[in-house]
Amino acid sequence: MLADGKDVAIFATGIMIAAALEARELLKADGIDAAVIDIHTVKPIDRELVTAYAAKTGAVVTAEEHTIVGGLGSAVAEVLAETVPTKMARVGIEDVFGTSASAEVLLEHFGLNAQGIVAKTKALLGR
């Protein structure tokens, strides 16, 4: 756990950890207290940690530089469906055909940044 919070749990992996920490600060300015958890291993996933933070916050956002199908978001969704059904949003590449550009352009294009995490979090929380 990189930062504790009570309103939403952001589970991030890889380069999205830095974006999640930046998003936490942006959300804090809007009165949203976000926990940021580094999920360094998707398989096996830390079911107890995911379950504990879902129960604590009642809202979960995942952030990954990967397709939302079959990655961190899917793994977290499976845990939540089986243990603590929770409101959830996934930040990642939607189920679309790929495109070519520089890494910086692609991250922006797919919303894989702090602003993308903030937008999904606010939508999830209805703010």
In a domain, 93, yes or no: yes
- Considering only CA atoms, which of 44, 36, 38 is closest in space to residue 60? 36
Cis ω before 85 (30° cut-off from 0):
no
Residue 107's pLDDT band (boundaries 50, 70, 90)? very high
Q: What would the pLDDT profile of 16-61 be if each residue is shown by its tens digit?
A: 999 999 999 999 999 999 999 999 999 999 999 999 999 999 999 9
Q: How many domains does the chain have?
A: 1
* Residue 59 buriedness (CB in 10 A; 0-12 / 13-18 / 19+): buried
Pairing type for strands 59-67 and 34-38 reads unpaired
| DSSP character at residue 96 | S
Token readout for 87 is 């409101």
pLDDT higher than threshold 90 for residue 82? yes
Structure-token match 């797919």, residue found: 110
The amino acid sitting at 19 is A
pLDDT higher than threshold 90 for residue 97? no
In a domain, 1, yes or no: no
Q: How high is the pLDDT of residue 96? A: 87
In a domain, 91, yes or no: yes
Integer Cα distance of 108 and 127 in angstroms: 22
In a domain, 66, yes or no: yes
The amino acid sitting at 4 is D
Residue 5's pLDDT band (boundaries 50, 70, 90)? very high
In a domain, 2, yes or no: no
In a domain, 109, yes or no: yes
Which residue range(s) make up the domain with 13?
8-125
CATH of the domain at 119: 3.40.50.920
pTM above 0.75, yes or no: yes
